[in-house]
Amino acid sequence: MKGHSAPIKSVEFNADGRMLVSAADDKLVKIWSVEEMKFIQSFTGHQNWVKSAQFSSDSRMVASGSDDRTVRLWDVSHGGK
Protein backbone atom coordinates (compact mmCIF):
# COMPACT_ATOMS: atom_id res chain seq x y z
CA MET A 1 0.00 0.00 0.00
CA LYS A 2 1.45 3.34 -1.01
CA GLY A 3 0.43 6.53 0.65
CA HIS A 4 3.16 8.55 2.30
CA SER A 5 5.65 10.83 0.60
CA ALA A 6 8.36 10.38 3.23
CA PRO A 7 9.78 7.67 5.55
CA ILE A 8 7.23 6.00 7.82
CA LYS A 9 8.08 5.98 11.52
CA SER A 10 5.28 4.00 13.09
CA VAL A 11 2.55 1.54 12.06
CA GLU A 12 -0.04 0.15 14.47
CA PHE A 13 -3.20 -1.94 14.22
CA ASN A 14 -6.38 -0.97 16.03
CA ALA A 15 -7.82 -3.44 18.56
CA ASP A 16 -9.81 -5.62 16.14
CA GLY A 17 -7.14 -5.56 13.45
CA ARG A 18 -9.38 -4.01 10.82
CA MET A 19 -7.54 -0.69 10.63
CA LEU A 20 -3.96 0.53 10.63
CA VAL A 21 -2.61 3.92 11.58
CA SER A 22 0.70 5.13 10.15
CA ALA A 23 2.82 8.14 11.12
CA ALA A 24 5.40 9.58 8.75
CA ASP A 25 7.89 12.30 7.99
CA ASP A 26 5.45 13.88 5.52
CA LYS A 27 3.65 15.35 8.60
CA LEU A 28 0.65 13.11 8.03
CA VAL A 29 -1.19 10.50 10.06
CA LYS A 30 -3.04 8.02 7.85
CA ILE A 31 -5.71 5.38 8.45
CA TRP A 32 -5.85 2.21 6.34
CA SER A 33 -8.47 -0.49 5.89
CA VAL A 34 -6.88 -3.92 6.38
CA GLU A 35 -9.69 -5.88 4.75
CA GLU A 36 -9.87 -3.77 1.64
CA MET A 37 -6.14 -3.09 1.72
CA LYS A 38 -6.67 0.53 0.89
CA PHE A 39 -6.20 4.03 2.19
CA ILE A 40 -9.16 5.45 4.14
CA GLN A 41 -8.31 8.76 5.74
CA SER A 42 -5.53 11.31 6.18
CA PHE A 43 -5.15 13.64 9.17
CA THR A 44 -3.38 16.87 8.30
CA GLY A 45 -2.24 19.47 10.78
CA HIS A 46 1.16 18.52 12.14
CA GLN A 47 3.85 20.98 11.12
CA ASN A 48 6.75 18.56 11.26
CA TRP A 49 7.67 14.84 11.31
CA VAL A 50 5.19 12.59 13.10
CA LYS A 51 7.02 10.07 15.27
CA SER A 52 4.24 8.17 16.97
CA ALA A 53 0.53 7.44 16.39
CA GLN A 54 -1.84 5.05 18.17
CA PHE A 55 -5.52 4.10 18.21
CA SER A 56 -7.49 4.34 21.44
CA SER A 57 -8.77 0.95 22.63
CA ASP A 58 -12.27 1.65 21.23
CA SER A 59 -10.74 2.72 17.87
CA ARG A 60 -12.68 5.97 17.86
CA MET A 61 -9.65 8.20 18.27
CA VAL A 62 -6.04 8.40 17.20
CA ALA A 63 -3.38 10.25 19.17
CA SER A 64 -0.15 11.43 17.57
CA GLY A 65 3.04 13.13 18.67
CA SER A 66 5.31 15.14 16.42
CA ASP A 67 8.56 17.02 16.11
CA ASP A 68 6.30 20.09 15.91
CA ARG A 69 6.01 19.75 19.74
CA THR A 70 2.27 19.07 19.74
CA VAL A 71 0.17 16.11 20.81
CA ARG A 72 -2.92 15.82 18.62
CA LEU A 73 -6.15 13.87 18.86
CA TRP A 74 -8.04 12.83 15.73
CA ASP A 75 -11.62 11.63 15.44
CA VAL A 76 -11.75 8.38 13.47
CA SER A 77 -15.51 7.87 13.77
CA HIS A 78 -16.39 9.75 10.60
CA GLY A 79 -14.49 7.10 8.62
CA GLY A 80 -14.46 7.16 4.83
CA LYS A 81 -12.84 9.98 2.92
Residue 44 burial by CB count (10 A; 0-12/13-18/19+): exposed, middle or buried?
A: exposed
Distance of alpha carbon 81 from alpha carbon 42, whole angstroms: 8
Of 32 and 43, the one with the shorter C-beta distance to a copy of itself is 32
Smallest distance from the beta carbon of 11 to a copy of itself, in angstroms? 4
Pairing of strands 50-55, 38-43: unpaired
Helix (H, G, I), strand (E, B) or coil at 63: strand
Of 73 and 79, the one with the shorter C-beta distance to a copy of itself is 73
Smallest distance from the beta carbon of 20 to a copy of itself, in angstroms? 5
Answer for the pair 77, 56: CB distance below 8 angstroms, yes or no: no
Positions touching a copy of itself (CB under 8 A) are 1-13, 15-17, 20, 22, 24, 30, 32, 34, 37, 48-49, 51-58, 60-61, 63-73
Smallest distance from the beta carbon of 28 to a copy of itself, in angstroms? 11
